[in-house]
Amino acid sequence: MGDLVHMVHDEVSVVIDVSGGVPTIAHWGARLNAPDAQRMASMTRRPTTHGSLDVVPALQIVPQHSLGSQARPGLQGHRPGGRDWAPRFSTCDVQTTERSVTTSSRDAIAKLRLDTRIELDASGALCVSATVINEGDSRFLLDALTISLPVPSSARDLTTYSGRWSRESATHRQTIDHGAWTTENRTGRTSHEYPPTVWWSTTDAREWTGEVWGVHLAYSGNHAVLAEVLPDGRRYTQLGELLMPGEVCLDPGGSYTTPKVVGAYGANGFTSASWVLHRHVRSVTPTVPVRKVLLNTWEATYFNHDTAALSALADAAADIGIERFVLDDGWFGARRNDRAGLGDWVVSREVYPQGLAPLIAHVKSRGMDFGIWIEPEMVNRDSDLVRAHPDWVLHAVDYEPVMARHQLLLDLTNEQAFAHVFAQLDALLRDHDIAFVKWDMNRPLIHASAADGAAGAHRQTLAFYRLLDALRTSHPQVEFESCASGGGRIDHAVLSRAVRVWTSDCNDPLERQHIQRGTGMWVPNEVLGMHVGAKQSHTTGRSHSIELRALTALFGWMGVECDPQKLNDHDRSVLREAIALHKQHRALLHSGDVVRFDLDDNSALAHGVFAADRRTALLAYVQLQTSPWLVVPRWRISGLDPERTYTVTHLPLGRMGGIGHTQPEWMTTPLTCTGRELAVVGLQPPSLWPESGMLVHVTS
């Protein structure tokens, strides 16, 4: 094929042109037969026009301004004095395998080398990264190195996400035919505000129809995302780490590698495209034998720690089927409130005179394992650590630090600070029978200067990875959860280390239906912590039935974050039943394909999980608010085997209220029908009260 490399996975093709110094993705989408370079060039070569250059610069994965590209340059930087600010690379080496292309290119004038890697991995994800190497004899001040992925002109719609604490992953869709959409994240974590995932799609795309291209940056720190339509009509997405001024300076021989950009193509709508990103997460996330139903103590006890009370809470948890008991904030140092103790990871003898051993032993005696909360990247001013080592705080020393939640940042780029916190956490995990760690990060990085005075967010992010990796290596039996005030650190890079993410600090099920649906576009349900909170949500003040709270938590990594002792008999019984249902269907929920459905009524949502072989499914229909109609439209259930015969059964969970005098017949007498009939004719839901839902089991 000469200058073209063709990679195939199932129904996806990626065609890469390696003739232009830096690779260009000539096609990423529906499967092609083996492409011919001459034929492809004849079909795709763009004409020159009045008002343009005499050449048509390729839209490369690292666009080069020096070649005339009007895209945002992929490599930005310079040497002292402003030299070598627009390099031009020539290909010097190309290595290919069946599903990967690596290139090495040089600019002999700028004395820079650019290495790239493009892979169509076993999950069907397009994974791209680049490395710049300084081969000169002076420093190169790097401002940015990013990856650009093109999409065809038919991809006119752009879906993006925004959010805040306790309201993550709000979904936005717009048609974009000119200009650019861009976000920049400077929080030092993946962020609640702008998670680094976007989707291009055809304007007709829905959950089960239309072409969709998704792009995700696998990185847990600052980032920049750009989606642009160039004046000549070409479209692309550019993603990369956002570097603070002077943050990365490459000494002679030094190098910088981008975070991995992960792309997903789906020919049949958003649901199938999201499976590509889900499969990628599953391929990198550490293996977990069973994702145990857990109880987290935070909303049950807050800072009120008492061994006897916690033991009683553990008894109540075991009684409803809980398998893991997670002790949240307040067990260490002077941590009686959020103003003191962070950084002192030693069990408080004031609260636990005999240490944690008696509580852990009690938890274990009830058939549960034990988990614990930590926040290793943060410190309180009122802590033994800061009093002893004020220089270990990550901030510009000549300025008063900006506070958040009474917290400062621990400088993990300082080797002494790193060694200290590792030693404390290593001892905690060595000396106690701990199976699970909830790793929190409750404030953004602001003015985060390292000891050398340079911006430290990049190095701090890598140090976080290194600390987590070191603890995982020393304690391979421990499962780690990524939490950052809820959903502030959810990405594919952290999920190559953590087995679970805390989706949101908001347990209000009405909010959670939207949060989980949005976040679930780039990570699968089984890694999303979904908890049953108290009747009245502590983040919204709203009250919801135990039925809706349990149904909403049932589809992910299920947990409980309320005190079962305070539930009335009905609520406790329903919660026990929901946990049993979750365990019964856990193998399906944690391995199947997450599905979402388009409804003809915006007052409701429908979602669920299909088994990979399409022999069974567990689905939910949730009435969010009152419908415009007394009888809601039929629910068309796409995606099952059209020729297979299924039995559709309603799974009762507690009480179900509505405005109907009768229920649809299939809810009382199981229905037998084909997958085609479910997709074309659909299923009639009942007329439910707002903020309620139902479960449906489908078997062949």
For the segment 121-147, the average pLDDT, to the nearest whole number, is 98
Position 496 in a domain: yes
Q: Is the pLDDT of residue 178 over 90?
A: yes
One domain for residues 68 and 187: yes
One domain for residues 485 and 339: yes
For the segment 561-576, the average pLDDT, to the nearest whole number, is 98
Domain range holding 640? 595-699
Position 512 in a domain: no
One domain for residues 372 and 462: yes
pLDDT band at 498 (very low <50, low <70, confident <90, very high): very high
Position 535 in a domain: no
Choose the catalytic residue: 157, 505, 508, 593.
505
Looking at 470, 502, 534, which one is the last position of a domain? 502
One domain for residues 136 and 212: yes
Position 283 in a domain: no
CA distance 645 to 628: 33
CA distance 348 to 306: 11
The string of pLDDT tens digits covering residues 26-47 is 999 999 988 887 788 788 888 9
Which residue do the tokens 């567990």 mark?
618
Looking at 481, 502, 523, which one is the last position of a domain? 502
One domain for residues 224 and 318: no
Say what the pLDDT of residue 2 is: 61
Position 600 in a domain: yes
One domain for residues 366 and 488: yes
Say what the pLDDT of residue 361 is: 98
Position 242 in a domain: yes
Choose the catalytic residue: 121, 344, 440, 563.
440
Say what the pLDDT of residue 569 is: 98
Of 604, 510, 501, which Cα lies nearest the Cα of 549? 510
Say what the pLDDT of residue 661 is: 87
The string of pLDDT tens digits covering residues 231-249 is 999 999 999 999 999 999 9
Say what the pLDDT of residue 558 is: 98
C-alpha torsion 443→449→455→461, nearest 10: -40
| CATH number for 599 | 2.60.40.1180
What 8-state DSSP symbol labels residue 537? -
Amino acid (1-letter code) at residue 601: D
Say how far residue 421 (Cα) sits from the centre of its chain: 26
One domain for residues 233 and 342: no
If one counts the domains in the chain, the total is 3
Active site residue 369: no
One domain for residues 299 and 229: no
Amino acid (1-letter code) at residue 694: M
CA distance 418 to 337: 25
Of 263, 224, 255, which Cα lies nearest the Cα of 73? 224
Q: Is the pLDDT of residue 362 over 50?
A: yes
In b/e form, how buried is each residue of 78-117, taking b as 16+ CB within 10 angstroms?
A: bbeeeebbebbbebeebebeebebbbbbbbeebbbbbbbb
The string of pLDDT tens digits covering residues 535-560 is 999 999 999 999 999 999 999 999 99
Say what the pLDDT of residue 563 is: 98
Position 402 in a domain: yes
The string of pLDDT tens digits covering residues 379-399 is 999 999 999 999 999 999 999
User: Do 463 and 505 meet the contact criterion of CB atoms below 8 Å apart?
Assistant: no
The string of pLDDT tens digits covering residues 427-466 is 999 999 999 999 999 999 999 999 999 999 999 999 999 9
Of 152, 146, 132, which Cα lies nearest the Cα of 202? 152
Position 658 in a domain: yes
The string of pLDDT tens digits covering residues 272-326 is 999 999 999 999 999 999 999 999 999 999 999 999 999 999 999 999 999 999 9
Largest separation between any pair of C-alpha atoms in the chain? 82
For the chain, what is the radius of gyration of the CA atoms? 27
Strand order in the sheet with 671-674: 593-596, 604-610, 616-623, 692-699, 645-651, 671-674
As a whole-number percent, the residues of the chain with pLDDT over 90 amount to 95
Q: Is the pLDDT of residue 1 over 60?
A: no
CA distance 269 to 264: 11
Of 505, 127, 64, which Cα lies nearest the Cα of 283? 127
Q: Is the pLDDT of residue 353 over 50?
A: yes
One domain for residues 300 and 242: no
Rounded to two decimals, the pTM is 0.97
Looking at 478, 502, 526, which one is the last position of a domain? 502
Mean residue pLDDT of the chain comes to: 97
- DSSP string for residues in 588-646: HHTTSEEEE---S-TTEEEEEEE-TTSSEEEEEEEE-S--SSSSPPPB---SS-TTSEE
CA distance 47 to 562: 64
Active site residue 10: no
Of 329, 295, 261, 690, which Cα lies nearest the Cα of 491? 261
User: Do 280 and 121 meet the contact criterion of CB atoms below 8 Å apart?
Assistant: yes
